[in-house]
Structure 1
């Protein structure tokens, strides 16, 4: 086996990415402190043709050198918007038919592997603060709470890792025929 060169990967140009059909997935970052985590979420969002990222509360916005360091240019491809109040955004999205899913450990949470993706449905995935998680009022307003199964001694994953795991799972389920 031989590793492929970047020129062999057949990736989209920035213009082609902007014109490409996006997956019906929105990411909401609820008060994320780490600029590197924010950049990593942008990069994951680029990889899986995410429709949009909402940066809420204390979540920093591009341009910023520490976001850029991990985003590697994906802040130029992925559509994003800053919204101060996460709960107001969630309520607004729900009125347009978007199903809001907080990624959190909570009562009656659905395990990610058991979460069924409905065809023709747009999902907003909410990822929370590195210490406090998704705000309780946002969890309460969500249509679903999705938990990533974990089997070790730790109680959580890094937010950028959680985003990669959940986005890949939802993306994969969207691609499967019913």
Structure 2
């Protein structure tokens, strides 16, 4: 076993000029009121790694600068390491607008949240695609108002004392499971 160099790794990666032709994972992700710009940047990087369809930043979720407006959060850019250029994204203040649009387009909406009806993330089936995954606030999670609009919810079983994971870590687990399900059933 020999570690690959950055040049060797780059040979296997999509190029920025070809990003529009890369087969995307048919998953839209809605981040609602994430507090930490570092979590948002990390989610951008993970979204690039899984090559999702689109990321929606909602509520008070920090976002990169928009069209020359430099009021966006520079920490998002720093942590994202360029993924804001390879992942389609949009800031929409009201998450309900995004959910209504998804449903109008026939896309099921799934919360990443512990609920009385949630099931383990690894039990998702291939017929879920396309899907919109809703990820909530680091402390309060996905609000009941948003949960009421979701078709179902998935959870990551917890075995320790804390009963929760960092939001960016939880997202990474869920999105790569979705990538695996999609890739195995294409």
Question: Partner of 1:57 in structure 2?
Answer: 59
Q: Distance in 2 between matches of 1:20 and 1:116?
A: 23
Tell me, in whole angstroms, the C-alpha distance in 2 between the residues paired with 1:47 and 1:16.
15
Taking structure 2 as the reference length, the TM-score comes to 0.91
Corresponding position of 2:91: 82
Cα deviation for residue 130 of structure 1 reads: 0.6
Give the C-alpha shift of residue 53 in structure 1.
Answer: 0.1
User: Is the 2:126–2:185 contact (alpha carbons within 8 Å) kept by the matching residues of 1?
Assistant: no
Task: Report how far residue 117 of structure 1 moved.
Answer: 3.0
Aligned partner of 1:144 in structure 2 is 152
Compare 59-68 and 152-161 and name the one that shifted more: 59-68
**CA distance in 2: counterparts of 1:50 and 1:101, whole angstroms:** 15
- Please list the CA deviations of residues 63-106 of structure 1 after superposition, one character each: whole Å capped at 9, or x if unmatched: 33211222110001100001111122112211101111000011
Alignment of 1:98 with 2:100, yes or no, is no
State the Cα deviation string for residues 37-76 of structure 1 (Å, max 9, x = none): 0000100111111010000000111133211222110001
Aligned equivalents of 2:151, 2:145: Cα separation in 1: 12
Question: How large is the RMSD of aligned CA atoms in angstroms?
Answer: 1.3
Q: How many residues align?
A: 177
- For structure 1, the 5+ residue unaligned runs are none
Distance 1:155 1:49 in 2: 28
The residue aligned with 2:124 is 115
1:24 aligns with 2:15: no
- The aligned residue for residue 129 of structure 1 is 137
For 1:89 and 1:142, the matched residues in 2 are separated by 12
1:3 positional shift: 0.8
Distance 2:164 2:96 in 1: 23
Which residue is equivalent to 1:4?
4
Shift of 1:135: 1.4
Give the secondary structure class of the aligned counterpart of 1:174: helix
Q: Which ranges of structure 2 fall in alignment gaps of 5 or more residues?
A: 66-72
**Which whole-Å CA distance do the structure 2 matches of 1:140 and 1:108 have between them?**
12
